Amino acid sequence: MIGFFASALMFTNIFALLIVFLMQVPIVLIAKTVKRWLQSMRGILIYGGFIFIMNMIFGTPLVQSIAFSIRFLGVVSAFSLFFMTTSADDLGLALEQIHAPYSIAFTFTTAVRLVPTMAIDAQTVVDAQRSRGLELDKGNFMKRIRNYVPILIPLIISAIRRSVELAEALESRAFGATEKRTSIVTLKMRPADYVVIIATLIGLGFALYVYLHVPLPNPVIPISLPRISWPSLQTARINQT
């Protein structure tokens, strides 16, 4: 996943970004996480469209705006695929075995565990508010934002309450009292792990070579969209006054 993440940040060419994004599809099929990956992509498409619209508003060319959106999809897809295929326990053990401070490893793995928990809490609050007559999908844009206030407040209170309970549990178990910790499970490198590492390094090297020495063609889209720039907005305001 590191290779896909680095390659997506490296390129700005739309063809290269499409290749980086599509190369993740076979890994999704092998990992058997197609349904979860598609669900995450469906939610991310909204933000990708927002990035495209904002780039067009600020005068970015059409092809480059599309490339920025595809780059965002590729980066987030790589992160999503990584956390779909890697358990928090294995991630924490890996951080400990590379001699990362246990406090950092514990904080990172706890944050990873809390994400699905907070998603479940959010869905529970949404269902409870809808059962009380709250309509989230009606009204204009500002009204929809105000409708989410009754959902955000219970989520914030729940997160604060859970963090306090977690802090009390850690304190009661003398968290951080001993510097050296032992684990009942020890991760060991397998031949498949070495193959993945070598393939990642080869892929990064190839991507770097293409980025530095291979000129990639830029597509030409014969569509001209109206651009809104700040000088034009200021001129319009002056004319109105």
pLDDT tens, residue by residue, 159-180: 888 888 888 888 888 777 776 7
State which amino acid sits at residue 54.
M
Report field, pTM of the whole predicted structure over 0.85: no
What is the C-alpha separation between 31 and 83, in angstroms, rounded? Answer: 12
* Domains identified in the chain, total number: 2
CB-CB contact of 74 with 21 (8 Å)? yes
pLDDT digits (tens, 9 = 90+) for 90-148: 888 888 888 888 888 888 888 888 877 887 888 888 888 888 877 777 777 677 777 77
Same domain, 161 and 218: no
Reading the block at residue 132, the tokens are: 């009380």
Angle between helices 62-85 and 24-31 (to 10 degrees): 20
Distances (CA, A) of 125 to 55, 133, 147, 225: 34, 13, 13, 41
Same domain, 159 and 220: no
Same domain, 74 and 105: no
Q: How confident is the model at residue 84 (pLDDT cuts 50, 70, 90)?
A: confident
CB-CB contact of 227 with 26 (8 Å)? no
Same domain, 25 and 77: yes
Half-sphere exposure of 170 (CA within 13 A, CB side): 13
Same domain, 16 and 74: yes
pLDDT at 87: 81
What is the C-alpha separation between 83 and 136, in angstroms, rounded? Answer: 30
pLDDT above 50 (res 74): yes
pLDDT above 80 (res 235): no
Q: 180 lies in a domain?
A: yes
The angle at the Cα of 49, spanning 44 to 53, to the nearest 5 degrees, equals 150
Q: 77 lies in a domain?
A: yes
Same domain, 159 and 223: no
What is the C-alpha separation between 108 and 102, in angstroms, rounded? Answer: 10
Same domain, 24 and 52: yes
pLDDT at 141: 67
Domain that holds residue 155: 99-188
pLDDT at 224: 55
Q: 25 lies in a domain?
A: yes
Q: Could you count the other beta carbons within 10 Å of the beta carbon of residue 96?
A: 20
SS3 at position 124: helix
